[in-house]
Structure 1
């Protein structure tokens, strides 16, 4: 493999300075953040401007704004720094009690709500220097999973969405229907005809982005009459409450927020294929000892979630 001449001549210290400048948009504050002197940071800014042939920061009145190129760099710099940190943080010995690191996990609001509190508690108890960043998933992120998984630690997603990536199974869940507590049409049970006639709250509702259970309904010949489209599961119960709407929700989540939202659970009148939630990650983390520890924590949190006793909803 040929040697990358660009990297040989590049001072990686400039990457850290660039990140500080783009965050603070001010040489003095960037110097304070770095614990450096203002002249040193000014010199580094001059070198960066020559390298990129761009001002990066330009003055507007009494403040500095990012140039269009700097806006692009601001999105790329933090993942690049994290990548460099991971290269030099690989050690044969790993002590979670002393390590300092941030793990970024792309997740739905559902998984963040039911699994996130357990994971956060386990991490805080065993690795106080580790910070969790839970990043909301979107159809665009999932559609570009190959690129995204190089810049984050992994996805919390059910089977059936990603393929061809390593994964760690975490927990299972099943789909239930939710209706308003005072729904005048639906009693203790709901029929397929009622599902077809009722107004729906659905997730995303795009050709390549949908809840798997809703897709199962379509395969049974029922096309939901969509009245409200949302981009997260947590919103659904509150948009069902006080209406004749219906939605499909994961049971673990429905049990937690149903009473507060004013909805009740009824069994699906069809055999909805259950969810199998997993943590998906890039093969480059296979021998990363810290990442291996994270996967173990997630698996333990999944087992604890399965063992939880949550009150039934009527």
Structure 2
């Protein structure tokens, strides 16, 4: 296939048709007449040798082939938008660019306020979109980062990509204040005999301390899995469950919940939270600015933390 023979407007039409599942609605979204978009649909049908949209009752549905195209089309549109949004220089004060960052609620709670204030003060026209990442997205980090501008996750979850260390943290065990068997300290036997709440559990999204416990022979009984660190307290309070949480997050997790922490009964690998991006973004001025403000927000958090009297 010779891409030079393709009309980029057909990609825009295809994306709108697959999203709206209606010629009328897609035409309105694109500011085109219905006959004009119908002509584009006819060309797309000939190109793919598939009807793409079929009438079912009073509505249109996507064909199985069109369903497969939908995700690829969205990715292609995002790629095109990124290409045409790039400029040889970047002025945050006048830019209206949108950046997308994949991040867990933990990291967002740590640096979100700082990033927000920097953008508000220096780049009022810039939009930063924070989206949650999932184990499935983490497993496809390099592919996903062709569309998203950056991803924030700890070292050890991705490799072969440029990254920037943001801040460090320590893992601690979170339990109910009246836990029936765990006192001021916990043993490996305690970790094995009590049920657990874990977050982001998959073949790759698996916290290093959990791997350490496995290597120490601790057979963890996972009772609850959530993809949100901030949701953990409601599944720990009033139960005999244990959860591994980041020390920075503890004050927030304890608000409104009778919870306490105990140290892990082994030398826990420190958590190093990092910013990851695709190599193609390395020299792009706007992306370099984005990286700089995220790092600044992370450094400010550590500065404030060290300044708080104990």
Same fold per superposition (TM over 0.5): yes
1:230 corresponds in structure 2 to: 226
Whole-Å Cα distance in 2 between the matches of residues 294 and 69 of structure 1? 37
Which 5+ residue runs of structure 2 have no aligned equivalent? none
Secondary structure of the residue that 1:119 maps to in structure 2? helix
Q: Does the Cα contact within 8 Å between 1:201 and 1:247 map onto a contact in 2? A: yes
Q: Does the Cα contact within 8 Å between 2:104 and 2:132 map onto a contact in 1? A: yes
- Residues 1:267 and 2:288 aligned together: no
1:38 corresponds in structure 2 to: 34
Whole-Å Cα distance in 2 between the matches of residues 147 and 309 of structure 1? 35
Secondary structure of the residue that 1:51 maps to in structure 2? helix
- Residues 1:110 and 2:106 aligned together: yes
User: CA 1:170–1:72 in structure 2 vs 1: closer, same or farther (change >3 Å)?
Assistant: same
Summarize the alignment of residues 67-106 of structure 1 with structure 2, pairs less than 5 Å apart. Answer: 67-106=63-102
Whole-Å Cα distance in 2 between the matches of residues 24 and 121 of structure 1? 36
1:175 corresponds in structure 2 to: 171
2:252 corresponds in structure 1 to: 256
Whole-Å Cα distance in 2 between the matches of residues 39 and 124 of structure 1? 44
2:302 corresponds in structure 1 to: 306
> Which consecutive segments of 4 or more residues in structure 1 shift more than 6 A?
none
Cα displacement string for residues 215-234 of structure 1 (whole angstroms, at most 9, x for unaligned residues): 12223332223333334333
The count of aligned residue pairs is: 307
Q: Does the Cα contact within 8 Å between 1:213 and 1:272 map onto a contact in 2? A: yes
Residue 84 of structure 1 deviates from its aligned partner by: 1.6
Summarize the alignment of residues 1-314 of structure 1 with structure 2, pairs less than 5 Å apart. Answer: 6-309=2-305
Q: Does the Cα contact within 8 Å between 2:157 and 2:205 map onto a contact in 1? A: no
Secondary structure of the residue that 2:198 maps to in structure 1? strand
Name whichever of 209-218 and 238-247 sits farther off: 209-218
Secondary structure of the residue that 1:260 maps to in structure 2? coil
Residue 56 of structure 1 deviates from its aligned partner by: 1.4
Residue 309 of structure 1 deviates from its aligned partner by: 4.3
**Scaled by the length of structure 2, what TM-score is found?**
0.89
Whole-Å Cα distance in 1 between the matches of residues 38 and 193 of structure 2? 66
Residue 154 of structure 1 deviates from its aligned partner by: 2.4
Residue 207 of structure 1 deviates from its aligned partner by: 4.7
Whole-Å Cα distance in 2 between the matches of residues 38 and 97 of structure 1? 40
**Scaled by the length of structure 1, what TM-score is found?**
0.88
Whole-Å Cα distance in 2 between the matches of residues 298 and 266 of structure 1? 31
User: CA 1:236–1:118 in structure 2 vs 1: closer, same or farther (change >3 Å)?
Assistant: same
Whole-Å Cα distance in 2 between the matches of residues 188 and 34 of structure 1? 63
Name whichever of 203-212 and 277-286 sits farther off: 203-212
Secondary structure of the residue that 2:294 maps to in structure 1? helix
